[in-house]
Amino acid sequence: MSKYPVKNREIMQGSIAVAETIGALEPGVIGVYPITPQTHIVEHLARLVANGAINSRYINADSEFSAASILYGAASAGVRSYSASSSQGLLLMTEVIFNMAGTRLPGVFSAVNRSLSPPINIQVDHQDTMTLRDSGLIQIYVENIQEAVDTHVQIYRIAEDREVLLPAMVCMDGWIISHAYEPVTLWQEDAVKEFAGSYDPPFKVDPRKPLTYGALTDDDKITEFKYMVDSALCRTENKIVQAAELFREEFGNFHGDVVEKYYTDDAKIIIVAMGSVVGTIKEAVDRMRAGGKKVGLLKIRSFRPFPAAAVRELLSGAEMAIVVDRSFSASAGGILGSEIKANLYHQNGPVLFNYIAGIGGRELYPHSIMEIVQESETAFSKDCVPDGAVFFNLNEELL
Amino acid sequence: MKGLARENYLAPGHNACPGCGVSIAVRLILRAIGNNVIVVSPTGCLETFTSPYGMSAWEVPWVHSLFENAPAVASGIEAALQYKGNPDTQVVVIGGDGATFDIGLGSLSGMLERNHNILYICYDNEAYMNTGIQRSSATPMGASTSTTPVGSKSYGEALPKKNMLTFALAHNIEYVASAAIAYPRDLMNKVKRGLDLKGAAYLHVITPCTLGWGFEPDETIELSRLGVQAGIFPLVEYENGELTRVRKIKELKPVKEYLGSQKRFSHLEEAEYENVKESIKEIVRQNVKKYGLLER
Ligand SMILES: Cc1ncc(C[n+]2csc(CCOP(=O)(O)OP(=O)(O)O)c2C)c(N)n1
Ligand SMILES: [Mg+2]
């Protein structure tokens, strides 16, 4: 018997494991719209509702835009809500997500990461969720199925904390996490529910206490409203750390808090990445360490709030930092790379390399990572560090 | 009238223009509903003139999220109330024609099709008024707006108004009706009927706009009445898809009188636009026939 509230441990598909976890949390309102590779999650939730296993109101929306708006409505009425989407669907939700953050309504989304059109492609990269980064949304990127499950258990108590009250998104790579099968521990419903707590917002729409939601403000007040979103998201950093610690105590698993470090202490070279490629990078680090190279990995778990202090602290001792980005801002480099760079300014920190790689599902193997490290080391030793980001492994013949 | 709230749930002091048809409509609507309600409004004039921060005119809970999602937000609220076991609180959307006919049409269709227990009220001032009188698909043929100006190659809006009642009826909902602020008792009865029936209901209310249509602020009610009496805005009621009630007209007022009382149609007086006026008269003839508007 485990001392932790294990329900069962079995080989499961990532989407099903996440849907089972959401089922255990039983959000009052679920708003859905299909898009690959997210669909297995909402299909499984539909089965749970159809079988009477959960009591949620399951709403087949007319678009992702409406699905997100349904969450807005439910959250404003004080009920916990959930949706999942990918790629184009997440972009269609964008206007609503800014709106939820601005009105401080904490719906939860699973984002199953997928490339954006064109060309249309259903494989993983991070362009979809990274495009939402300025909204005020909490974003946690997970590495594997177990972390996806555990982060969904943690996310409601973070988002619904009265000092936070922001929408939140668990970002999990399409296919590599959503469709892979791995041994997974699922947790007992009551333990999961207890960990999440209940959604008890200070304000809600209620005829007994009529309030106005979504008022109009002019320049005399709007900056303050925006500032409050910014500071709420900053406060979230601590809540993520606390949730991860408490989860470790009560469930025994730990996947990092806002970041996870892997052999960073004495590392001369630190690779920075998020999502499933982190597992691949860990393998590459092990191999390079076996060859005597002092290399480590900094996994960014919370991209929003951005863990600026942890990034500065952990990278400060390294000679080189190599950011592997699965998204970019055209003409301005990798998005994660740019933010890491901005946070190292005036820090006398490492020389920064930024690779844009793994776009639209292009496979990244341990040897790809080792190649990136090798290339960066050569450039470093020759003192010819590239000015901006580098697209890894471009096929020149197609250009 | 029995069962009406005495209170005014749209507080005075809001920022509507003098003679605004929307504020009159909303005051009547809220009197008919009472205060056990959650109102959702999309972006538009109503939202703007009622909700400056710290000066809300709403005495009932009111939510504004975006221009095109009020039906979906209302769906989420209704689902949340059901989940909490609070089915007595009414959920009502009050939104403009642009939000209804155009940008929120998909969201509205989803809400009607899923048959949420929501009364959707479109206040129709026949253009995007909040942003400066641009045309919407509710703008009638021949009307000059800031995006359908009159010129050597334009007589104003070129297309006839979209028929939202037909659109609503296509969703097989229990209740579809139209009303006008010149007939307050009828308007409030229809609000009540829409609330009484379970499931989604659609109510269309014509709200003349002094700025957008071009008339004096003290003529709002008169213009609303004239639109009905000229056969431009038939007042009708459908239950379960059947036309159950029509406000009959003794004698049709001339279309010319209706057009002539608004600046947006003033160019139509010129002889060269005779065919446009003919088309508008044809729309009235069809209304008369379709709804049996004339008393006999
Ligand atoms: C997505 C989006 N597009 C455009 C706008 C700008 N906008 C705000 S209100 C409005 C017009 C509203 O028209 P209607 O629904 O007819 O209401 P009215 O102002 O006439 O009362 C427009 C175009 C917006 N707020 N959001
Ligand atoms: Mg309008």
> Which tens digits make up the pLDDT trace of A237-252?
999 999 999 999 999 9
* A200 contact B CB<8A: no
Domain span including residue A327 = 259-398
Give CA–CA dist A81/B286, Å, rounded.
47
**Is the pLDDT confidence value at A320 over 80?**
yes
Residue pair B252/B288 in contact (Cβ under 8 Å)? The answer is: yes
Predicted pLDDT of residue B213? 98
Predicted pLDDT of residue A2? 83
Q: What percent of chain A has pLDDT over 70?
A: 100
Task: Please state the pTM of the whole predicted model.
Answer: 0.97
Same domain, A279 and A216: no
DSSP string, A69-85: HHHHHHHHTT--EEEEE
CATH code of the domain covering residue B120: 3.40.50.970
Which of A60, A212, A217 to mutate: most B Cβ within 10 Å? Answer: A212
Predicted pLDDT of residue B1? 63
Same domain, A51 and A143: yes
Please report whether residue A1 resides in a domain.
no
Please report whether residue B13 resides in a domain.
no
Give CA–CA dist B208/B230, Å, rounded.
15
Predicted pLDDT of residue B2? 67
Q: Is the preceding omega at residue A119 within 30 degrees of 0, hence cis?
A: yes
Please report whether residue A154 resides in a domain.
yes
Token digits of residue A232: 């709420």
Give CA–CA dist A210/B9, Å, rounded.
10
Q: What is the pLDDT of residues B142-197, one digit of tens each?
A: 999 999 999 999 999 999 999 999 999 999 999 999 999 999 999 999 999 999 99
Predicted pLDDT of residue B87? 79
Same domain, A232 and A274: no
The dihedral built from the CA positions of residue A266, A271, A274 and A280, taken in this order, carries a sign that is negative
**Is the pLDDT confidence value at A80 over 90?**
yes
Which single residue is written with the structure tokens 């998909």?
Answer: B106
Q: Which residue, A393, A376, A278, A375, is CA-closest to A336?
A: A278
Domain span including residue B93 = 21-291
Which of these three, A201, A228, A251, is where a domain ends? Answer: A251
Predicted pLDDT of residue A1? 63
Set of chain B residues whose Cβ sits within 8 Å of the Cβ of A59: 75-76, 79, 114
Predicted pLDDT of residue B296? 77
**Is the pLDDT confidence value at A38 over 90?**
yes
In this prediction, residues B2-25 reach a mean pLDDT of 90
Q: What percent of chain B has pLDDT over 90?
A: 96
pLDDT band at residue B4, thresholds of 50, 70 and 90? confident
Same domain, A239 and A298: no
Which of these three, A182, A216, A251, is where a domain ends? Answer: A251
Q: What is the pLDDT of residues B61-98, one digit of tens each?
A: 999 999 999 999 999 999 999 999 987 999 999 999 99
Predicted pLDDT of residue A285? 98
* A398 contact B CB<8A: no
Same domain, A67 and A192: yes
Same domain, A24 and A65: yes
Query: With 0-12 CB in 10 A as exposed, 13-18 as middle and 19+ as buried, what is A394?
Result: exposed
Q: What is the pLDDT of residues B218-253, one digit of tens each?
A: 999 999 999 999 999 999 999 999 999 999 999 999
Query: With 0-12 CB in 10 A as exposed, 13-18 as middle and 19+ as buried, what is A55?
Result: exposed
Q: Is B46 in the pocket of ligand 1 (CB under 6 A)?
A: yes
CB atoms within 10 A of CB B150: 20
**Is the pLDDT confidence value at A111 over 70?**
yes
Same domain, A34 and A111: yes
CA B69 to chain centre: 17
Same domain, A212 and A332: no
How far does A383 lie from chain B, in Å, by closest CA? 52
Polymer length of chain A: 399
Same domain, A32 and A145: yes
CATH code of the domain covering residue A166: 3.40.50.970
Set of chain B residues whose Cβ sits within 8 Å of the Cβ of A218: 52
Q: Between chains, do B69 and A69 touch, taking CB under 8 Å as contact?
A: yes
CB atoms within 10 A of CB A347: 12
Interstrand relation of A181-187 and A6-13 (parallel, antiparallel or unpaired): antiparallel
Number of domains in chain A: 2
Q: How far is the centre of ligand 1, averaged over its atoms, from the C-alpha of B108 (Å)?
A: 15
**Is the pLDDT confidence value at A85 over 80?**
yes
CATH code of the domain covering residue A381: 3.40.50.920
Same domain, A274 and A391: yes
* A146 contact B CB<8A: no
pLDDT band at residue B5, thresholds of 50, 70 and 90? confident
Q: How far is the centre of ligand 1, averaged over its atoms, from the C-alpha of B130 (Å)?
A: 6
Please report whether residue A353 resides in a domain.
yes
What interface predicted TM-score (ipTM) does this complex get?
0.96
Q: Between chains, do B79 and A57 touch, taking CB under 8 Å as contact?
A: yes
SS3 state of residue B103: helix
At B259, which helix (H) or strand (E)?
helix B255-260
Q: What is the pLDDT of residues A128-157, one digit of tens each?
A: 999 999 999 999 999 999 999 999 999 999
Please report whether residue B16 resides in a domain.
no
Query: With 0-12 CB in 10 A as exposed, 13-18 as middle and 19+ as buried, what is B199?
Result: middle
Please report whether residue A34 resides in a domain.
yes
Which of these three, A228, A251, A274, is where a domain ends? Answer: A251
Please report whether residue B2 resides in a domain.
no
Number of domains in chain B: 1
Give CA–CA dist B119/B112, Å, rounded.
10
Q: What is the pLDDT of residues A260-292, one digit of tens each?
A: 999 999 999 999 999 999 999 999 999 999 999
- CA-nearest residue for atom 24, ligand 1, is B67
Token digits of residue B106: 């998909």
**Is the pLDDT confidence value at B6 over 80?**
no
The alpha helices in A160-221, defined as continuous H runs, are 189-196
Same domain, A94 and A127: yes
Residue pair A77/A204 in contact (Cβ under 8 Å)? The answer is: yes
- Give the residues across from B84 on adjacent strands: none
pLDDT band at residue A346, thresholds of 50, 70 and 90? confident
Q: Which residue, B178, B172, B136, B142, is CA-closest to B157?
A: B142
Same domain, A214 and A280: no
